[in-house]
Structure 1
Amino acid sequence: MIPDELWARIEPLLPVLPRRTDHPGRKRLDNRKVLSGILFVLYTGIAWEFLPQELGFGPRVTCRRRLRDWHQAGVWQKLHELLPAEPHATGKLDRSRAVIDRSHIRALKGGPKTGPSPVDRAKTGSKHHNIADGSGLGGHRWVIEQTVALLHWFRRLRIRWEIRDDIHGAFMTLAAAIICWRRLIH
């Protein structure tokens, strides 16, 4: 599920945890399998408790815990900064101009950083703030609308199911990094 080229960029960013010698317990599940489970949830929008064990992703708790831990370690933010640096160095990415906008999504379970929607009869929601490169400035709103559509291509981000803000933020940052990766390879 994870292309080798993308995994080669993610793997060095993941924290290395030494195996405990006093209480070794079970061997740690492979990071690539766990990340595949995280991406499965992000792409499909499936609830954590329905993550299929048959696909070999590992337990849902392990996937959610590693998503949280890697987000706290700054892995997704580093990846999101690393990927656009390459096209910027070659002149394919113009950072001198940017388009900024936000979109509003439903937050059915509430949680921190949610509030009443100004456009949806005050139902609980959450805002996604977006920045896109300035290749479409000058009345071309499609640039930011395309960015919002790319984020909402990940089904888990269409409706905010996470109560915990750190898990939602981890999904957002990971999705932005994947969008950058797709732009980089095309």
Structure 2
Amino acid sequence: MTRLKVSQQLVSDQLWELLEPLIPPPPPAKNGRTGRPPVDDRAALEGILFVTANGIAWKKLPTELGFGSGVTCWRRLRAWQEAGVWEKLHHAVLDQLGQDGQLDWSRTCLDSVSGPGEKGGELTGPNPTDRGKLGTKYHLLVTADGLPLAVAITGANRHDSMLVEPILDGLAPVKGRGRGRPRRRPGKLHADKAYDNRRVRRYLRRRGITARIARIGVDSSERLGRHRWVVERTISWLLAFRRLAIRYDRSATTITALATLAVTVICARRLPRKDY
């Protein structure tokens, strides 16, 4: 895979135009020393995405593709995470999609998926569906057409219903078409029986969000399948980033940055291409 091909697939010009203003300036050189010139930011981004997509170790990133070293890309990923760059980029992409009329807030879907955490670390826990092996759980909130509005990461033992409030409360206002107020609340929330409890339903009622949650012992999970399939499709898109499908990164900073970048790329695929 050449660098040009990676750039076309993962780092579009539209995505780069949104990211570039968010990148903090490099720290000043110590004692006036310049040292080796830094790796270009766009090349570093391509290297980060190459690792994320292919699931290789950072140290095995092919330097001949022009990305710089894997350690450099890893450091850039973490520095930008600590500066809030990835979260701001995701929001910038959502703002652009909202202004283009591509975000359907009429209904949202919430679901999760667990994956193995080979080396343990932060945000892992015993997976009750995998003989108690350490794992990580990704929680995704998507629009009616499957665009991810938010992603949260917990240990595999964290109950799904505990993430409803923090995810919905954490949504930043997203711009829409025209001069109306930014949107941060969906009309409906679709979810399976894992989210069926009084606390969740009271919370949604208080926020003015209609609950479309399968009731334990009453409703069939298939009844809501015609709406919930979109989140399952988005989960498959997320796990196509092989660095997330099997987690090797031990720190919360790294795995959160990778997951946020992945959902941002998924959203950015809907941005209209520009002719230059």
Local SS of the residue matching 2:103: coil
Task: Say whether 1:145 aligns with 2:210.
Answer: no
Q: Which amino acid aligns with 1:170?
A: A
Q: 1:18 to 1:72 in 2, by over 3 A?
A: closer
Task: Say whether 1:14 aligns with 2:56.
Answer: no
Local SS of the residue matching 2:264: helix
RMSD between aligned residues: 1.8
Q: 1:125 to 1:18 in 2, by over 3 A?
A: closer
Residue 184 of structure 1: aligned partner: 271
Q: 1:75 to 1:86 in 2, by over 3 A?
A: same
Query: Which string of whole-angstrom CA distances, capped at 9 and with x for unpartnered residues, describes residues 6-31 of structure 1?
Result: 21111111111254262222221111
Q: Give the alignment partner of residue 117 of structure 1, picking from 121, 127, 143.
A: 127
* In 2: Cα distance, 1:98 partner to 1:178 partner: 19
Task: Say whether 1:29 aligns with 2:39.
Answer: yes
* In 1: Cα distance, 2:228 partner to 2:108 partner: 12
Count, aligned residues: 186
- The alignment's TM-score, normalised by the length of structure 1, stands at 0.93
Question: Which structure 1 segments of 5+ residues have no match?
Answer: none
Residue 95 of structure 1: aligned partner: 105
Residue 252 of structure 2: aligned partner: 165
Task: Say whether 1:86 aligns with 2:173.
Answer: no
Q: Which amino acid aligns with 2:252?
A: D
Cα shift at 1:97 = 2.8
Are the equivalent residues in 1 in contact too, given 2:119–2:249 (CA < 8 A)?
Answer: yes
Are the equivalent residues in 2 in contact too, given 1:96–1:134 (CA < 8 A)?
Answer: yes
Residue 126 of structure 1: aligned partner: 136
Residue 155 of structure 1: aligned partner: 242
Cα shift at 1:147 = 1.2
* In 2: Cα distance, 1:110 partner to 1:55 partner: 31
* In 2: Cα distance, 1:56 partner to 1:86 partner: 30
Q: Which amino acid aligns with 1:156?
A: R
* In 2: Cα distance, 1:185 partner to 1:57 partner: 26
* In 1: Cα distance, 2:106 partner to 2:26 partner: 39
* In 2: Cα distance, 1:61 partner to 1:17 partner: 17
Residue 219 of structure 2: aligned partner: none
Q: Give the alignment partner of residue 79 of structure 2, picking from 69, 74, 77.
A: 69
Local SS of the residue matching 1:130: strand
**Structure possessing the higher radius of gyration over alpha carbons:** 2
Local SS of the residue matching 1:104: strand
Task: Say whether 1:49 aligns with 2:59.
Answer: yes
Segment of structure 1 superposing worse, 1-10 or 98-107: 1-10
Cα shift at 1:37 = 0.7
Q: Percent identity?
A: 46
Are the equivalent residues in 1 in contact too, given 2:14–2:271 (CA < 8 A)?
Answer: no
* In 1: Cα distance, 2:44 partner to 2:120 partner: 27
Q: 1:29 to 1:90 in 2, by over 3 A?
A: closer
Segment of structure 1 superposing worse, 48-57 or 168-177: 48-57
Q: 1:135 to 1:9 in 2, by over 3 A?
A: closer
Residue 199 of structure 2: aligned partner: none
Query: Which string of whole-angstrom CA distances, capped at 9 and with x for unpartnered residues, describes residues 125-144 of structure 1?
Result: 00001000134857122111
Local SS of the residue matching 1:160: coil
